[in-house]
Amino acid sequence: REVVRAISGSNFDLSTGVLRSDERRLTVRTVGAFTSVGQIRELPLGGDGLRLADVADVEYEEPPLEYGRHLDGNFAIGVTVTAEAGGNAVVICDEVRQRVEDTNSDPELEGVTFLIWFDQGAEIRKTLRDLTFTGFFGGLLAAAVLFAFLRRVSITLVSVLCIPFSLIVACGAIWAMGKTMNTLTLLGLIVGIGMLVDNAVVVMENIYRHQQRGLGRREAALLGSREVSLAVIAATLTSVIVFLPMIFNKPSEMNIYLRELAITVCLTLLASLFISQTLIPLATSTFIRSRSRGRARLMLWLENHYGTLLAFFLRHRWLTPVIGLAVIASTWFPFSHIDKNFDANETELFVQRRYEFSEPLSLERMEQAVSIIEDRLVPYRDELNAEHIYSFWSDRFSLTRLYMKKGFANDTDMAVTRTRLREILPELPGVKLEVQDQAGHGFRRGGGKRIAFQLVGEDTGVLAELAAEAKLRLEEIPGLDDAWTSTQTGGMELFIDLDRELAARYGVPLNQPAEVISLTFRGRRLPRFRTPSGEREMRLTLDERENESISQLHTLPVWTANGDKIPLASMAEFRIEPGPDRIQRDNRRTSVWVGARYGEGTMEDYLPLVRTAMDSMDLPFGYTWTMSEWAERQREQSREFMINLLLALGLIFAVMAGLFESVRQAVGLMVALPFAVAGAFWALWMSGTDFDQPAAIGLLLLIGVVVNNGIVMIEHINLYRRGGMERTAAMLLG
């Protein structure tokens, strides 16, 4: 205590008041901080000339590492560089990369390799590059499809030019709104590319049709654009309306992503509407000349057979609802056989195994065990598609990861790697390799081919035992692999139980042994020591040779009230037990998550089996298992999607009924939507794709596309009907 008091009293930097005069105000600081290690060594401890260096060793050194790390079998140290708020991540990453390259060429660091493990700037560039390529390639495909149907280079070029002009207008609107060009906005622009040419093609085709009938360019442009203006405006509004609920809905994890995407898509579609009503008629009247064009045989064949099929169904109208109901009813099969998950799970880049040691080990012995596993994996590195083998070990947890090669970080290849790992990894005495779910807070969600539930109770130890039993039950369910729990053993702990009666008899306050033990094994933190390169932590500790064994702890001296020394063992009992790594509480109750992966089938296939296994488990009073948090999360996100969908459908119906001034025609448009939904779910099932957030966005986009097609067709039929044509003939020709 005297040493602590002397050091603390001689190392300070305090604000001690304010000095005010007539002309200025000064803050008073009293500084008595150490400026060198020599001053600390020469610190007097009393009036008899005793110095700190006489009773202690004063050293300025790096603290010992409390962990170890390997990368591809070599010792490694990790450094993370984080950009400040508002900083340009790409520019900062480029500067950091340049500094790393300069460091690699430093002769003083020969033998040390600096490897850039993750570069967010490069990832951003790659994402933008991929999205740009997707958009460019999609534009080329759109041009090819248009040419296949229009059979005119000039018409195709004018239609395709609508894409860059619409994107320029949309980007200007994005800039005016103060938004940035990020992944979501760029994705929104690309999603809208396929819908940009729709308006232009409808307007241009109608103008060209009037040119072929003998009208002049100007007259054909005015009449043709005016005739389809209602259909084009209605088609664009329906696509915009689909996204309005996402923009104005309450904030949530799903709606945050959808809102940014929706705003960009809406701006793009509105820009295409503006272009189709202004530049397209101008370009068509200026550059497109009326001349006969040959029809491709395939197009003629499609038109003839489509007309024949349509005429058949118009003659046998009762077949349409029968076939329609059958198609809609068939949707139940794919809908019940695909996974439905709205969680935005992060992409997994590695396969991981966690070490469980049966007894506490030093870092050196942990490293030996880790090295054995790494040496075992190296010959199978190519077979496991592993780019790097990374290991980390400490007193809290130890693990080994296989980072997958590019192109192999997907569910299928990673499942093969996990299966092969179970066959390759050896059994080590006192070491157990456990599965650990690594997808962020993956144990809180059941997505990504996972199923999970909570065990809830009061005592962490009891929950850990129940979680172990529940894990065994999951492993017995066919189809479930890599069962895991959120509990981690924090290592063996030494508990010191102080006897209150003996402490009172000796006159020893209970806090005194705790302070002595803390000083012996952890040390005492002192005021920080200032150096030219910054402040450094200063700590008072005992000689490491005095805390190497439990027997030394038994003989640790404790001072009694009369000044005598007694060993700690005379007033305390010692026991060694495993301790928890962490305690997790939800709604003020301790909980543990248990889960597993599945490869085949859907989550709904395994939920009854999990419920049966857990319901048969004998739980103590006050302990229970539940899927409530995860289930509620799924229900909330499903509910948000359904609200967005129903609002979009209601708004579309209202707009269509108002524009066409006919509820019957609006209903006719809505009838097409169930067929689109049926086709979407069959496509998801056949492609093995989950119904997740991207699929939900695609379904909302699909509604807009389907309604667009219906609007154009109905308006075309109405155009013929207004010209006096009979209904059936107008439907066949339209």
DSSP state of 83: P
CA dihedral 248, 252, 253, 256 (to 10 degrees): 20
- pLDDT band for position 442 (cuts 50, 70, 90): very low
Are 358 and 430 in contact, with CB atoms under 8 Å apart?
yes
- pLDDT band for position 492 (cuts 50, 70, 90): low
- pLDDT band for position 528 (cuts 50, 70, 90): confident
Kindly report the average pLDDT of the chain as a whole number. Answer: 78
Indicate the range of 10-14, 119-123, 617-621 predicted with least confidence.
10-14
Q: Indicate yes or no: pTM above 0.85.
A: no
- pLDDT band for position 172 (cuts 50, 70, 90): confident
pLDDT for position 489:
54
Residue range 536-578, pLDDT digits in tens = 888 887 766 656 667 777 888 888 877 788 888 888 888 877 6
CATH 3.30.2090.10 at 492-580, yes or no: yes
Radius of gyration of the chain (CA): 36
Average pLDDT of span 415-435: 81
- Only one residue has tokens 């509910």, namely 639
Q: What's the rounded Cα separation, in Å, for the pair 357 and 373?
A: 14
pLDDT for position 447:
45
Residue 186: phi and psi, rounded to 5, are: -65, -40
Residue range 367-388, pLDDT digits in tens = 888 899 899 898 988 888 888 8
Tokens at 666, concatenated: 């609006």
498 pLDDT above the threshold of 70: yes
Q: What's the rounded Cα separation, in Å, for the pair 602 and 592?
A: 24
Treating both helix axes as pointing N-terminal to C-terminal, what angle do 693-722 and 253-287 enclose, rounded to 10 degrees? 40
pLDDT for position 443:
42
Indicate the range of 171-185, 383-397, 610-624 predicted with least confidence.
171-185
CATH 3.30.565.10 at 149-294+635-733, yes or no: no
670 pLDDT above the threshold of 60: yes
Domain segments of the chain: what residues?
2-55, 149-294+635-733, 351-438, 492-580
427 pLDDT above the threshold of 80: yes
pLDDT for position 109:
78
208 pLDDT above the threshold of 60: yes
- pLDDT band for position 734 (cuts 50, 70, 90): low
User: For the domain with range 351-438, which CATH number is right: 3.30.499, 3.30.70, 3.40.50, 3.30.420?
Assistant: 3.30.70
pLDDT for position 290:
60
Average pLDDT of span 412-426: 83
Q: Please name the residue ranges forming H helices in 492-627.
A: 500-506, 511-521, 550-554, 603-615
- pLDDT band for position 45 (cuts 50, 70, 90): confident
Residue 606: phi and psi, rounded to 5, are: -100, -20
Residue range 258-293, pLDDT digits in tens = 777 778 888 888 888 888 888 888 877 777 666 555
- Name the residue with higher pLDDT: 584 or 224: 224
Are 451 and 607 in contact, with CB atoms under 8 Å apart?
yes
Tokens at 258, concatenated: 């959808």
Q: What's the rounded Cα separation, in Å, for the pair 101 and 511?
A: 54
444 pLDDT above the threshold of 50: no
Residue range 323-344, pLDDT digits in tens = 888 888 888 888 877 877 665 5
Indicate the range of 294-298, 474-478, 509-513, 576-580 predicted with least confidence.
294-298
Are 520 and 552 in contact, with CB atoms under 8 Å apart?
no
Tell me the three-class secondary structure of 141-172, residue by residue.
HHHHHHHHHHCCHHHHHHHHCHHHHHHHHHHH
- DSSP assignment of 448-496 equals TTEEEEEEEES-HHHHHHHHHHHHHHHHTSTTEEEEEES--EEEEEEEE
- Other C-beta atoms closer than 10 Å to the C-beta of 708 total 22
Average pLDDT of span 160-166: 77
How far is C-alpha 431 from the geometric centre of its chain's CA atoms? 32
Q: What's the rounded Cα separation, in Å, for the pair 275 and 195?
A: 13
